[in-house]
Amino acid sequence: MAIRPILTAPDPRLKAVSTPVESVDAGTRKLIDDMVDSMYAADGIGLAAVQIGVAQRVIVMDLDQRDGKKNPRHFINPVITWRSEELATFEEGCLSVPEIWDEVERAARIKASYLDREGARHELEADGLLATCLQHEMDHLEGVLFIDHLSKLKRSMALKKLQKAKRLKETG
Ligand code: K1U
Ligand code: ZN
């Protein structure tokens, strides 16, 4: 297992549309293990493979991190099969857009289908943080960041803040 660096905006690799996993194999499980390690190391609650530069339709998530307990979930080739008309607003962050948090409106409830790390198909119904986080991570699979849901002004302010932080990091 390995901690892999997480790409940050405006890295063009974050704009890639991820391709489906053709067969769930040992390579997929190694990718998942690396993603889980990288997510925990960065204090995240979710991660899409494209955020570590692998444009495959794989997501990991752990929304139950309490008292050091770990309960990682894995979603391979996830598809949203139903979205509620009702919307919900959550304050979102992103490991690829560090230190920026803002409210995003998304479907309040969704149904999704996905494969687990053994290749078995599952269906789930989600609301609350799970619905928000799944929609956020599935946006990554299409090359979309949560700041793309903000107004043009807010997005350009966020990108300027990121670029300034990157410059400061490079020059020390
Ligand atoms: O996609 C990502 O980069 C993961 C992202 C998931 C997410 C968070 C909130 C709403 C929607 C999606 C994160 O994990 S951001 C980091 C984070 O949530 C967090 C960090 C430190 C303390 C508490 C939360
Ligand atoms: Zn994100």
pLDDT (tens digit per residue) in 22-35: 999 999 999 999 99
Span 126-169, pLDDT tens digits: 999 999 999 999 999 999 999 999 999 999 999 999 888 888 88
Helix (H) / strand (E) element for 74: namely strand 73-83
pTM of the full predicted structure?
0.95
- 132 Cα nearest atom in ligand 1: 11
Q: Is 24 in the pocket of ligand 1 (CB under 6 A)?
A: no
* Per-residue tokens: 168: 């400061």
> Per-residue pLDDT averaged across 91-117, rounded?
97
- Select from 39, 60, 94 the residue to mutate for testing ligand 1; criterion: most ligand atoms less than 8 Å from CB: 94
Q: Is 34 in the pocket of ligand 1 (CB under 6 A)?
A: no
**Which residues, 6+ apart, have CB-to-CB distance to 132 below 8 Å?**
88, 90, 92, 104, 106
Residue with the smallest CA separation from ligand 1 atom 16 is 44
> Per-residue pLDDT averaged across 55-61, rounded?
98
> By the 8 A CB rule, do 158 and 27 touch?
no
Q: What's the rounded Cα separation, in Å, for the pair 96 and 7? A: 6
pLDDT the model gives residue 17: 98
> By the 8 A CB rule, do 57 and 18 touch?
yes
